[in-house]
Amino acid sequence: MSISSPEGAQQPTRRRRNRGVRRVTIADIARQAGVSKTAVSFAFNMPQRLSEETTRHILEVARQMGYTPNPIARSLNTRRTNAVGVIMPQDIPTVLSNPFFAELLSGVGEVCDAEGLSLMLIPPLRGSLVEATYAALVDGCIVTGLEANDKAVRALRLRKIPFVMIDVDAPPDIASVSVDDFGGAYAVMRHVLEQGHRHIAIVSFTSFSGRIEDYTGTLKHRFDGYRRALAEFGLQLPDATVHVLESPCNVRGGQAAFHHLIQLEPRPTAVVALSDVLAFGVIDAALAAGVRVPDDLAVVGFDDVETSRLLRPALTTVRQPIREKGRRAAELFVKMLHAESEEPPVEHIVLPVELVVRESSVRAGALAQHSV
């Protein structure tokens, strides 16, 4: 049998229970350690202001009392969160399904581990990157997939926190890390043309403009490289034999691109994909449709993620130093974070690329003629 009590009669019991789980405060630690509350705050936030012995004593007392600092309160005291954010225009599941981003984040993570920083992924918040940028509790950001005039980048400027951009034509006052996109695109397109292909489909990731003439940044430089190689063989971009398809930058996007390109007339004999993951989708759909790679359709990519050499047929691609790109961007960020000057020197780093020829674009008998 249960006995009910008036609501008011239960309140003292609740109050006693709440008092039993009261959080330990810095005042409690100060009393127990025989120091001031300021000293306790210094021990957690600015230990250099105390002697090593005093700091060690306070932290030991805090540990024995089960004290854990409130991270939000601590960040208010130090004006630091000890976190770097990586801003990306896609949702987290999409980003993490792309091996390019996994390698990029590994490079960033190497520096974070060495510097004692946390890494936070910042995707759009309720569809808005600007809102996500303002909401992120970070000391600064590494920005991927955006142009310098993007609203989210302007929001970072207004917050006045350090940030570094990746793969962008950054203005003089924004630090950046990129690769030789023009050189890589020129090399891989010339390779395709040297194999005798004249009916070509270029599979690009979806742009903000949807018009080749409006491409900027990475897209512009890669298409400029493709144009240069095509022009050397008397071809233009686009023309009746060189088609451009835009697809989401994932395996499904590459699969969809294949199903579209096989309907083209004349049908392309080679696919030049702007990323390895798009090339993976093209190859997967081609093999499922009974189209042999490279005998019926040559396929090349751009990135050289680890899966590219494990694929069968292994993927011809442009090797860019993805992990190093992430690492160098994080190093620039740390340098800016610790700079004594309010306006530290701005660096723009451009890393080299390399064409890697494998089975997906060259028949087995001819592969020995190429360096891999």
Average pLDDT over residues 47-66: 86
pLDDT value at position 165?
96
Examine residue 363 and state whether it is found in any structural domain, yes or no: yes
Examine residue 23 and state whether it is found in any structural domain, yes or no: yes
Examine residue 119 and state whether it is found in any structural domain, yes or no: yes
pTM as predicted: 0.77
Q: Are residues 14 and 72 in the same domain?
A: yes
Average pLDDT over residues 132-143: 90
Q: Are residues 191 and 173 in the same domain?
A: no
The yes-or-no verdict on residue 15 having pLDDT over 50 is no
CATH number of the structural domain spanning residue 126: 3.40.50.2300
Q: Are residues 300 and 193 in the same domain?
A: yes
Helix (H, G, I), strand (E, B) or coil at 142: strand
pLDDT value at position 294?
96
Q: Which of 20, 46, 78 is the last residue of a domain?
A: 78
Structure token pair of residue 231: 């022009």
Provide DSSP, 3-24.
----HHHHHHHHHHHHHHTPPP
The yes-or-no verdict on residue 76 having pLDDT over 80 is no
Pairing of β 83-87 and β 118-122: parallel
Examine residue 1 and state whether it is found in any structural domain, yes or no: no
pLDDT value at position 217?
87
Q: Are residues 163 and 287 in the same domain?
A: no
**Band of the pLDDT at 365, cuts 50, 70, 90?**
low
Q: Which of 28, 55, 78 is the last residue of a domain?
A: 78
Of 74-83, 137-146, 289-298, 320-329, give the lowest mean pLDDT range: 74-83
The residue among 288, 258, 286, 289 whose CA lies nearest residue 273 is: 258
pLDDT value at position 284?
97
Q: Are residues 37 and 137 in the same domain?
A: no
Q: Are residues 249 and 362 in the same domain?
A: yes
Q: Which of 78, 113, 135 is the last residue of a domain?
A: 78
pLDDT value at position 341?
63
The yes-or-no verdict on residue 65 having pLDDT over 90 is no
**Band of the pLDDT at 240, cuts 50, 70, 90?**
confident
Range of the domain at 240: 181-320+354-367
Q: Are residues 229 and 155 in the same domain?
A: no
Examine residue 287 and state whether it is found in any structural domain, yes or no: yes
Examine residue 67 and state whether it is found in any structural domain, yes or no: yes
Average pLDDT over residues 229-252: 92
Examine residue 162 and state whether it is found in any structural domain, yes or no: yes
Average pLDDT over residues 204-225: 85
Examine residue 219 and state whether it is found in any structural domain, yes or no: yes
Q: Are residues 119 and 63 in the same domain?
A: no
pLDDT value at position 253?
94
Q: Are residues 101 and 63 in the same domain?
A: no
pLDDT value at position 48?
80
Of 26-30, 177-181, 195-199, give the lowest mean pLDDT range: 26-30
Average pLDDT over residues 7-15: 44
pLDDT value at position 97?
85
Percent pLDDT > 90 in the chain is 58
pLDDT value at position 372?
39
Q: Distance (Å, rounded) from C-alpha 263 to C-alpha 205?
A: 20
pLDDT value at position 18?
45
Q: Are residues 258 and 109 in the same domain?
A: no
Strand partners, 119: 84
Average pLDDT over residues 109-121: 93
CATH number of the structural domain spanning residue 25: 1.10.260.40
Average pLDDT over residues 58-73: 75
The yes-or-no verdict on residue 78 having pLDDT over 70 is no
Which of the two residues, 318 and 126, has the higher pLDDT score?
318
Q: Distance (Å, rounded) from C-alpha 160 to C-alpha 142?
A: 14
Q: Are residues 300 and 195 in the same domain?
A: yes
Number of domains, the chain = 3
Q: Are residues 116 and 17 in the same domain?
A: no
The yes-or-no verdict on residue 10 having pLDDT over 50 is no
pLDDT value at position 264?
92
pLDDT value at position 17?
45
Which of the two residues, 94 and 225, has the higher pLDDT score?
225
Of 23-37, 67-81, 150-164, 288-302, give the lowest mean pLDDT range: 67-81
- The whole-chain average pLDDT of the chain stands at 86
Length of the chain: 372
Provide DSSP, 319-364.
E--HHHHHHHHHHHHHHHHT-SSSSPPP-EEEE--EEE--TTTS-H
